[in-house]
Amino acid sequence: MAHRFQEQLALAAQRSTLNTPISASYILSRSVPLSMHPSPFHAFHSHLSTLCNNVLNDRRFLTNIFSHLHQPRDFYTIMGVSRLWRDCVCDGIHSLDFRRYSERVTDRPLVACLQRIRHLQRLTLDNCTQLNDCSLSAFAPLCPKLTAVSFLGCAGITDQGVSDLIRHTRIIHLNLERCSITDTALLELSYCAPSIRTLSLAQTTVGDTVMGVMLMRLLHLEELDLRGCLRLTDQTLRTLGAARLSAMRRLDLSNCPAFTGPALRAAVPALPALRTLRVIGCYQVDADSVFGLLRSCPRLAELDVSWCDQWSPQVRGCFLGEFAGRVRVQEGEQRPAEVLLAPRPAGRW
């Protein structure tokens, strides 16, 4: 036993001298228990420590790992470890979500954070009510790769901020719900960002004229949210039918009381890729129009007409019978104005 132990010590020393890695299988393949192998085990442990140190200091590996971070708290924690980790996290982060810190986010800390990140692509600032156009003007030139931004509920964002954003970035997904924007910013958006695929203008003051220009120019639109745009009328629906938006998959027209059933029935068949349509609370959308719409659009997988018309139980039963799984009809005692502006389905941004 002692002789074999000395042989293995000599072999381990020789392999260590030749810088040959000592694997766990090599140690476990020997008949002598590990407790009698102080040198091979020590060499293995040393090699493992060296490997971990090399991995934790490998720039490519760290950058790939840090690319999965999304919370600002994680970002600041990693930056405090070392200069290498700080550089890697700045190179690796592609998405930041400030929704958990919306009440504390202000212009100066936001700009200080974003100016370090070189490859930011997605930014979520929902309900950050303390932000204004100054922050957009400051960080937009620093984030040329930014493609998706959500300003839901940021009332301090106006035309100037949106103008600076679309001028310095390559926006594809934009959420301006409840922002203080006017037709000026939307017209500039139509001409300067024609590649937009996802757009939310919910509860803004957009009108038929500007919306018509946008529908004719934003030909790559896949998702459009116009909930609560009270100034829109059937003219927008007629333009929607004429624009031939072949990529449109999801359309939300909820709480737009001026839309009528015949105009909706004429516009939707012109959207061949449409799968989801929500017209919650559009009082003038009648049952006949909805029946015709569903029969002429077999690819429409989801239609929500809750709180539209005061349909009888027989009509609702026909909907749920003939188009089971495709149509959603919900009635209740709540007035539509109180229930229609519900949050978007989870995962929209």
Query: For the domain that residue 209 is a member of, what is the CATH number?
Result: 3.80.10.10
Instruction: Note the pLDDT of residue 33.
Output: 44
Is 144 inside a domain boundary?
no
CB-count burial class (<10 Å; 0-12, 13-18, 19+) for 315: middle
Q: In this predicted model, what pLDDT tens digit does every residue of 302-348 receive, in sequence order? A: 888 887 766 666 666 666 666 766 776 655 444 444 333 444 444 44
Residue 102, pLDDT > 70, answer yes
Name residue, tokens 């569903």: 294
Q: Residue 124: its pLDDT value, please? A: 92
Reading the block at residue 9, the tokens are: 């010590």
Of the candidates 175, 79, 160, 76, the residue with the CA atom closest to the CA atom of residue 125: 175
pLDDT reported for residue 91 = 67
Alpha helices in the chain (DSSP H): 2-17, 24-28, 38-56, 59-66, 72-79, 83-92, 107-114, 133-139, 159-168, 183-192, 208-217, 234-243, 261-267, 287-296, 313-322, 336-339
249 within 8 A of 223, measured Cβ to Cβ: yes
DSSP lists the bridge partners of residue 284 as 260
Bridge partners for 223 per DSSP = 198, 250
Regarding predicted confidence, which is higher, 316 or 67? 316
**Is residue 233 included in any domain, yes or no?**
yes
Cα angle vertex 96, ends 93, 102, to 5°? Answer: 155
- Domain assignment present for 94: no
User: Do the domain assignments include residue 177?
Assistant: no
pLDDT tens track for 103-155 = 888 888 788 778 777 788 899 999 988 888 988 888 888 888 899 999 999 99
Tally of structural domains, the chain: 2
Summarised one tens digit per residue, pLDDT across range 1-10 is 444 544 544 4
Q: Which of these three, 10, 32, 54, is where a domain ends?
A: 54
* pLDDT tops 60 at residue 56: no
What's the confidence (pLDDT) of residue 134? 87
For residue 315, the model assigns a pLDDT of 67
Q: Is the pLDDT of residue 74 over 80?
A: no
24 domain residue, yes or no: yes
Q: Which of 236, 319, 338 is nearest to 281 (CA)?
A: 338
Q: Are 130 and 98 in contact (CB under 8 A)?
A: no
- Please tell me which residue, 42 or 115, carries the higher pLDDT value: 115
Domain presence at residue 86: no
Q: Which of 30, 54, 78 is a domain's end point?
A: 54
Among residues 16, 34, 54, the one where a domain terminates is 54
271 SS3 class? coil
Q: What is the pLDDT of residue 271?
A: 93
Q: Between these two residues, 201 and 286, which has the higher pLDDT value?
A: 201
Percent of the chain topping pLDDT 70: 62
The answer to whether residue 210 sits within a structural domain is yes
How much is the pLDDT for 28? 37
CA distance 329 to 342: 16
164 in a structural domain: no
CA distance 82 to 299: 54
The mean of the pLDDT values for the chain is 76
Cβ proximity of 218 and 196 under 8 Å: yes
Q: Say how far apart CA 281 and CA 300 lie, in whole Å.
A: 19
User: In this predicted structure, what is the pLDDT of residue 150?
Assistant: 95
In degrees and rounded to multiples of 5, residue 175 shows phi and psi of: -120, 115
Identify whether the C-beta of residue 97 lies closer than 8 Å to the C-beta of residue 127: no
Identify the domain containing residue 338 by its residue range. 197-343
